[in-house]
Amino acid sequence: MTLELKDLMDRESDRADNYFTPDPAMILAAGRRRRRNRRLGIGATLVTACAVLTAGVGLIVQEHREDAPVAGGSGRPQDAYNECDTSSGTRLGKNSWTWPEVKTLTDEYGSASLRRDPDDPNQVVYCVTQPKAPTGDLPLGQSKGIIVRKTPVNERLSVTTVFGRTYAERGGTVMVALGDSADTPFPGHLTPDYTVVAKLGEATVVETYFIYRQTENSAWPGPRPKVAVASYQMKGWLYNQGKW
């Protein structure tokens, strides 16, 4: 006889006001119910403890994931490496990638952006993202007001990014010529037909800055890129031009 069963029988026998002869079957059933309830209680406690522990792990993981992305990064593999430089070629730190955007161009190979120093509105830097660190010997500073960056794509393709400033009147156009097209002088007056024939590309202009990106049929590292830029007034007349 277990101690629990004996305790039940003793308590029932000691009730002077309700004395009866104990029924062993009833007492055994009562003991089973009590053991079952205790097991259920222990099981519920364990489930509750597991739920609390699981919830805690979930919060930690979620908090870690929120903190994981680098400021300014989009998480794309094309943007794994980013850099920002001044027009003189000074390489800036990571915090420059968090500066407010003036303009950004994004494509399947990375991105190019103009960003403004929040502490110096006159300071705009030139930034690019790409899958890996840059390769090849390429000047970081401007040449004749033109800044060029190269991003390798594969053994035969690369992306050329061109930055700069234009002082043509608001509403003007900036045209960019790459490769052999850069050897041909720009016309004094711009027409849509000439743009197509000469294989010129139109840059994106914002304020007095421009950005242009184009895929070239040339591997990088490779020969020095050929880049020419021309600014046109709103009515299509040539304002100035330069060759990088």
15-25 residue pLDDT tens:
434 333 445 45
Could you tell me if 58 and 102 lie in one domain? no
Assign 3-state DSSP to the chain and report helix, strand, coil percentages, each to 5: 30, 30, 35
224 within some domain: yes
State the average pLDDT over residues 99-104. 96
Structure tokens at 47: 């489930």
Q: Residue 98: give the domain boundaries.
A: 77-243
3-state secondary structure of 164: strand
For residues 107 and 126, membership in a common domain is answered with yes
d(CA 132, CA 121) in angstroms, rounded, equals 30
Q: Is residue 226 part of a domain?
A: yes
Task: Indicate if 54 and 123 belong to the same structural domain.
Answer: no
- In the chain, the number of structural domains is 2
User: How long, in residues, is the chain?
Assistant: 244
Strands (E), 30-188: 81-85, 101-107, 110-116, 124-130, 146-152, 158-165, 173-178
Q: Which of 16, 34, 67 is the last residue of a domain?
A: 67
Q: Over the stretch 136-192, which tens digit does the pLDDT of each residue have?
A: 888 899 998 999 999 999 999 999 999 999 999 888 999 999 999 999 989 999 887
Band (pLDDT 50/70/90 cuts) for residue 117 is very high
- Please tell me whether residues 17 and 120 are part of one structural domain: no
Q: Is residue 130 in a domain?
A: yes
Q: What per-residue confidence (pLDDT) applies to 53?
A: 32
- Residue 72 domain-assigned (yes or no): no
Model pTM?
Answer: 0.69
Domain identity same for 102 and 143: yes
Q: Are residues 139 and 161 in the same domain?
A: yes
Q: What confidence score (pLDDT) does residue 32 get?
A: 57
